[in-house]
């Protein structure tokens, strides 16, 4: 017989992981279902990018932040399914939801949808000369900066991520080119001001062709077109930052009346949707005053978990006890203290 969980969290990114932690504080039987092979969500696409805007947290790389978040999210040992795609949610009308995936069906008394904008895949560069197979020096995700040491790097894109990468590579790369179709870079003003000082920025410019060496499977030159005509730039590496394609194929049974606003799901500020028992957290949630930053997803997660707890247990407290007074936290601290004592013996 399929095991029934108190709450199933769809999405293992920051919102989903913090929801799992908080559900553990509330002594809920919790499951996480994640499409990718690893937990962490979109932050995994920027492992070396510095994150500055989390309260009380000094600037931290995406990789280090995700490791901490996963450790926290798994504190109370939720069940985790990775490489699992949720395809449909069905209301069973008996107090449970059937969550249909590519690997079978899961049952839960409540659901928290924390899928961000959907399953994300970087948008590929669509110009002449791009080989069908992977090119060694064309990057859609930057996993380490050291590979660009003393190299000529061309970055295609002019948004926050592209500009952040250009700034992070200052002092590492020998030469940085930023190529953008728009008239002005569309990143935060301070970051734009910084990148203009140390990178060669080509606005109102687009890439028309890349030239790869068939023997080495590496891009050697990039042709760009601007008002003054075509120009060829010799490169060692190319970074493509054109945004993401979103897979939003998750379906809901006709009995689940969820209002959609673009890619998001309409909710209250406390994560409630039009369907009792289904809550949202993170970028998938849309409500007045929504903060689309990491700090906002944590509050969303707390509210969604509290709503799920009250849905399955109406007499429960509206919020969890402060962690310093929480019995489950105290027990974990005692276990950790015993481990530390043994390690010192």
103 is in an annotated binding site: no
pLDDT of residue 50: 84
Read off the tokens for 163. 């500009």
H/E element holding 342? helix 327-344
Question: 37 labelled as ligand-binding?
Answer: no
Residue 146 marked in a binding site: no
The confidence score (pLDDT) of residue 76 equals 95
pLDDT band at 1 (very low <50, low <70, confident <90, very high): low
The strand pair at 229-234 and 50-51 is best described as unpaired
Count CB atoms within 10 A of the CB of residue 153: 25
Q: pLDDT tens digits, residue range 16-36?
A: 999 999 999 999 999 999 999
CA dihedral (17, 20, 21, 23) in degrees, to 10, reads 150
Q: How far is Cα 36 from Cα 41, in angstroms, rounded to an integer?
A: 8
Q: Which residue has the higher pLDDT, 222 or 333?
A: 222
pLDDT band at 293 (very low <50, low <70, confident <90, very high): confident
240 annotated as ligand-binding: no
Cβ of 210: how many Cβ atoms within 10 Å?
22
Beta-carbon contacts of 283 under 8 Å, excluding residues fewer than 6 positions away, are 15, 116, 117, 264, 292, 297
324 marked ligand binding residue = yes
d(CA 103, CA 125): 32
Q: What is the pLDDT of residues 78-135, one digit of tens each?
A: 999 999 999 999 998 899 999 999 999 999 999 999 998 776 677 888 888 887 677 8
What gap in Å lies between CA 193 and CA 8, rounded to an integer?
44
Q: Are residues 131 and 212 in contact, defined by beta-carbon separation less than 8 angstroms?
A: yes
Q: How long, in residues, is the chain?
A: 345
**What domains are there in the chain, each with its CATH number?**
4-120+245-341 (3.50.50.60), 125-242 (3.50.50.60)
Residue 30's closest CA among 301, 326, 334?
301
Contact 21, 75 (CB under 8 A): yes
CA geometry: angle 15, 17, 18, nearest 5 deg: 65
Q: What is the pLDDT of residue 141?
A: 83
193 a known binding residue?
A: no
Is there a binding annotation on residue 300? no
The pLDDT of residue 255 is 82
- Give the C-alpha separation, 51 to 261, whole Å: 28
Q: What is the pLDDT of residues 33-57, one digit of tens each?
A: 999 999 999 888 888 888 888 888 8
Give the model confidence (pLDDT) of 138-196 as tens digits: 998 888 899 999 999 999 999 988 999 999 999 999 999 999 999 999 988 999 999 99
Q: Give tens-digit pLDDT for 226-259.
A: 988 999 999 999 999 988 766 666 788 878 889 9
CA distances, 218 to each of 24, 69, 135, 139, 237 (Å): 48, 36, 6, 11, 8
């Amino acid at each position: 017989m399929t095991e029934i969980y108190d709450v199933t969290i769809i999405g293992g990114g920051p919102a989903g992981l913090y929801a799992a932690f908080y559900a553990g504080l509330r002594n809920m039987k919790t499951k996480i279902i994640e499409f990718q092979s690893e937990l962490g969500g979109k932050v995994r696409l920027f492992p070396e990018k510095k994150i500055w805007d989390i309260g009380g947290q000094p600037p931290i790389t995406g990789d280090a932040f995700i490791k901490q978040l996963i450790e926290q999210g798994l504190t109370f040992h939720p069940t985790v399914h990775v490489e699992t795609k949720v395809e449909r949610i069905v209301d069973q009308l008996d107090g449970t939801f059937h969550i249909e995936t590519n690997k079978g069906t899961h049952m839960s008394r409540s659901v928290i949808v924390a899928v961000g904008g959907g399953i994300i895949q970087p948008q590929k560069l669509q110009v002449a000369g791009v080989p069908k197979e992977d090119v060694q020096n064309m990057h859609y995700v930057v996993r380490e900066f050291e590979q660009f040491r003393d190299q000529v790097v061309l970055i295609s894109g002019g948004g926050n991520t592209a500009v952040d990468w250009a700034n992070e590579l200052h002092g590492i790369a020998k030469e940085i080119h930023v190529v953008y179709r728009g008239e002005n870079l569309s990143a935060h003003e301070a970051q734009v001001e910084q990148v203009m000082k140390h990178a060669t920025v080509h606005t109102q410019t687009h890439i028309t062709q890349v030239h790869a060496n068939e023997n080495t499977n590496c891009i050697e030159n990039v042709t760009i077109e601007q008002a003054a005509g075509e120009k060829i730039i010799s490169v060692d590496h190319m970074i493509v930052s054109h945004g993401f394609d979103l897979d939003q194929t998750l379906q809901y049974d006709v009995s689940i009346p969820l209002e959609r606003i673009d890619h998001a799901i309409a909710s209250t500020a406390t994560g409630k949707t039009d369907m009792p028992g289904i809550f949202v957290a993170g970028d998938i949630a849309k409500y007045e005053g929504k903060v689309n930053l990491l700090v906002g997803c944590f509050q969303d997660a707390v509210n969604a978990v509290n709503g799920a707890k009250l849905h399955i247990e109406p007499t429960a407290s509206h919020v969890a006890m402060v962690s310093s007074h929480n019995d489950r936290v105290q027990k974990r601290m005692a276990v950790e203290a015993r481990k530390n004592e043994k390690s010192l013996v």
